[in-house]
Chain A
Amino acid sequence: MKKFIATLSVFTVLVVAVVYICNRNYYPTGAKGNDGYIGAIVDKHAYAAKIKLPRILFCGGSNVAFGINSKRIADSLGIPVVNLGLLGSLGLDFMLNEAKAVARPSDIVIVSPEYELSVDGAHTLKKEAQRIFPQAGTYFKTGLEQFITDFFIEDLQKNFAVTLAHLLHRPQKGFPTNVVYSRSSFNQYGDVVRNFTNPSKDFFTKVKLNYRPYAGIKNLNSFKDYADKNHIKVFFLYPGFPQSLYKKSLKPINAYADEFDRELKIKILIKPSDAIFPDSVFYDTEYHLLPSGRELRTDKVIALLKKEKLK
């Protein structure tokens, strides 16, 4: 028995060592791997760090990234704006922790989550954000099971392939930089500003919104408590939504609105019905506005924020 346990232990240590060595990523993807859409997180934080307080921080998924003209808002209100919106799949928890890390006393945070936005998000994307921007590692927690899965499977799969590609003298393909979903599509404020061509309207037939009690309310209320303690103003903004889908999804949207009205501690700036826009101003999902749509939404946001005494 002792021999068996000893042999098995040595073998296990050997497995861990081999995986560890493979995971060292001898040939890191470096800057080449940072040109993708998530790479914009670096620029957003760099911009947020260099502007003066107070700032307006927009927090949310891609509805925010595609949905506002930060410069116009800043010019209209006389307060600099940072658009932290990136990707809904990062999860609400990640976004709020990111906002906590960036926001300072006197800042104004506008939270605009998508309907049905997951609280946890996709771990792979959060890890990708961490790889590009190491501070992002503090915006989410990794449990033991996830840690083991990352170590033995996820990281191994990524790093082994990179290492092997280098050994075989096959450089990995970089991210394309001339597409909408790339880091270069963002302006200095964090808005997606690339000129969109050939918008696909396929998504109109596929979207089906469902109502499930929103698990993120607890996180949003806890963020509000944090903001109050730190003298940060917080507002809630519904995402822009296409008119035809709004009509089709009236029941779940109203259910969300009722729940937010009832339970959310954060001041809601707008009703869902006031956040609808013509179908023609949407790009490739129900949350991604075209430049014309972005201007329409920005007009509304400016009007709403002017009513609030932000300074």
Chain B
Amino acid sequence: MLFNSLNFALFIPVVFLLYWFVTNRNLTFQNILLLVASYFFYACWDYRFLFLLIFSIFLDFYTGHKIHSAKRQAGKKFWLWLSVGVNLGFLGVFKYYNFFAGSFTDLLSHFGFRASFTTLNIVLPVGISFYTFHGLSYVFDIYRKRITPCKSFVEYSVFVSFFPLLVAGPIERATHLLPQIQQKRIFDYDKAVDGLKQILWGLFKKIVIADNCAEFANMIFNNPAHYPGSTLVLGALFFTFQIYCDFSGYSDIALGVARLFGIELLRNFAYPYFSRDIAEFWRRWHISLSSWFKDYLYIPLGGSRGNTWSRIRNTFIIFLVSGLWHGANWTFLAWGALNAIYFIPLLLSKRNRTHIDVVAKDGRFISIKEFFQIIFTFGLTAFAWIFFRSESIGAALNYIRGIFSRSILTIPTGASLSGGSSNPVTIIALTVIFILMEWAGREQLFAIAKTGLKWPKPLRWTFYLTLVIAIFYFCGIQQQFVYFQF
């Protein structure tokens, strides 16, 4: 059930009405409703994997209690590693088995050995990377005594499988979400309206910008040899906006839907393309994953303490693991490595925390220096996305080779570039409008959070109506959310 589907548009009002009108007097009933709705939502993808999800929930719930009740440290460690081992084992089998088996075979054949590992025809369970990380953060936090185990299985299950975040995050923390699930929720008009606005903005990003950019990005990335360098640059830019609007659009919808149910989820994006350096970009992109890796991997490894070598090592580890988290392909590792290379000079020169605040805060005008910093960072990011989007390292290198040819100085063309259902000029114009709206709203939780609040109501409603009509009008070929494959 996609967020941008009719089924979801019917599913949400039903759950909303039952939640606030039927089960509102009893917290347990409300949580049971959320759990049933979440399982139903997940079963719509593939009911067989529901059992894997439930098993994972049960495992972490049980081991969480065992870690807490174990008298000796060795016992605590045993239960922690059992949970980590089983969780990562599932992730390894479903997501990485074929990649590692294939890569190992290639490596052996490179040295003249013949080996054959059976590759498995494995279907990746939707959301496995996300719910596995939810569960792991819970057991880690119990082990570190940050939280005590949740007493109610229903509450814990809702924490892991709450449907807005189940398939593509944000990756929640027990310290943040569990207390909200354990507390009685009271309907808040302003919060609900804000939620709707965030859903609207998320849909706009996904349907109007991401899906239309995807059409051209796919066209160009699938046949890079057919296009001049300038068109390949355009293709990389289309993908840069596709990936951002797709994933941040999803996150906006997830956050908005959760708000309708009185629950606040972690913010996942904070205008990353307005970052002035890569360190700032990584504080603003997929925040819930970056902070997860920081808390549970980077800091335990020593973080930015220690000597230069260990800082470089830790940085590389976290970026490579982050790349691998996205998928079992060398291209994701290359993308992670490239970002590590971008990041290390800032870390070593201790300039990785220079830009903490939002750029041009309090509505001040952007300086020329800041403008060029943003353009430079954006360029680095767009370049790295080429690896992320390409099918293989070779394809990415060919794409880059195609860009840095004489044809980069030509006007972007390509016979089939005009073959899509939308006009590329229209999509570029819409993207520019989108960037301006994001810029105007860069100090808000999401770009249109406060847009028009001081306008007369008819004007404000006209603005929302325009967004709705734009969503319908520019609705092209429905594309799956990119992050569902992770």
Residue numbers of A with Cβ under 8 A of B are: 1, 3-4, 7-8, 11, 14-15, 18-19, 22, 145, 148-149, 152-153, 156-157, 160
Contacts and interface: CB of A to CB of B under 8 A. Distances in A.
Contacts of A149: 6
A16 B7 CA distance: 18
Contacts of B461: 11, 14
22 contacts: A3-B189, A4-B189, A4-B192, A7-B193, A8-B196, A11-B461, A11-B464, A15-B468, A15-B469, A18-B465, A19-B469, A145-B6, A148-B6, A149-B6, A152-B472, A153-B472, A153-B475, A156-B469, A156-B472, A156-B473, A157-B472, A157-B475
A22 B472 CA distance: 12
B58 interface: no
A160 B468 CA distance: 14
Interface residues of B, number: 15
B20 interface: yes
A157 B473 contact: yes
Interface in B182-234: 187, 189, 192-193, 196
Contacts of B475: 153, 157
A18 B469 contact: yes
Contacts of A157: 472-473, 475
> Which 6 A/B pairs are nearest by Cβ-Cβ distance?
A152-B472, A153-B475, A1-B187, A156-B472, A153-B472, A4-B192
Given A4-B189, A160-B473, 13 more contacts: A1-B20, A1-B187, A4-B192, A4-B193, A14-B461, A14-B465, A18-B469, A22-B469, A149-B6, A152-B472, A153-B475, A156-B472, A157-B473
Contacts of A14: 461, 465
A145 B478 CA distance: 15
Contacts of B196: 8
A4 B259 CA distance: 13
Interface string B45-89: 000000000000000000000000000000000000000000000
Contacts of B473: 156-157, 160
Interface of B: 6, 20, 187, 189, 192-193, 196, 461, 464-465, 468-469, 472-473, 475
A164 to B, nearest CB: 10
A160 B464 CA distance: 18
B156 to A, nearest CB: 28
Given A145-B6, A153-B475, A15 B465 contact: yes
Contacts of A8: 196
A23 to B, nearest CB: 10
A18 B196 CA distance: 19
B172 to A, nearest CB: 25
A61 to B, nearest CB: 24
Question: Which of A14, A153, A156 is most buried by chain B, counting CB atoms within 10 A of its CB?
Answer: A153
B485 to A, nearest CB: 25
A143 to B, nearest CB: 11
A22 B465 CA distance: 13
A145 B469 CA distance: 19
Nearest to A156: B472
A16 B150 CA distance: 45
Contacts of B6: 145, 148-149
A157 B465 CA distance: 16
Nearest to B260: A4
Contacts of B192: 4
Nearest to A10: B461
Contacts of A22: 469
Contacts of B20: 1
B471 to A, nearest CB: 9
A19 B472 contact: yes
A244 B473 CA distance: 45
A149 to B, nearest CB: 7
B189 to A, nearest CB: 5
Contacts of B469: 15, 18-19, 22, 156
Contact of B187 (A4, A148, A152): A4
Nearest to A8: B196
Tell which of B461, B465, B468, B472 has the most Cβ of chain A within 10 Å.
B472
A156 B475 CA distance: 10
A15 B470 CA distance: 12
B418 to A, nearest CB: 15
Contacts of A152: 472
Nearest to A164: B473
Nearest to B7: A145
A152 B469 CA distance: 9
A160 B472 CA distance: 11
B7 to A, nearest CB: 8
Contacts of A153: 472, 475
Nearest to A144: B6
A149 B9 CA distance: 12
A149 B4 CA distance: 12
A1 B20 CA distance: 9
A17 to B, nearest CB: 10
A208 B98 CA distance: 30
A91 B20 CA distance: 45
Nearest to B189: A4
A8 B189 CA distance: 11
A8 B469 CA distance: 16
A157 B421 CA distance: 11
Contacts of B465: 14-15, 18
Contacts of A156: 469, 472-473
Nearest to B196: A8
A152 B6 CA distance: 11
Nearest to B20: A1
Nearest to B421: A157
A14 B475 CA distance: 20
A142 B472 CA distance: 19
Contacts of B472: 19, 152-153, 156-157
A145 B192 CA distance: 27
Contacts of A3: 189
A18 B469 CA distance: 8
B205 to A, nearest CB: 18
Contacts of B464: 11
A7 B464 CA distance: 13
A16 to B, nearest CB: 10
A132 B225 CA distance: 42
A1 B472 CA distance: 28
A19 B6 CA distance: 17
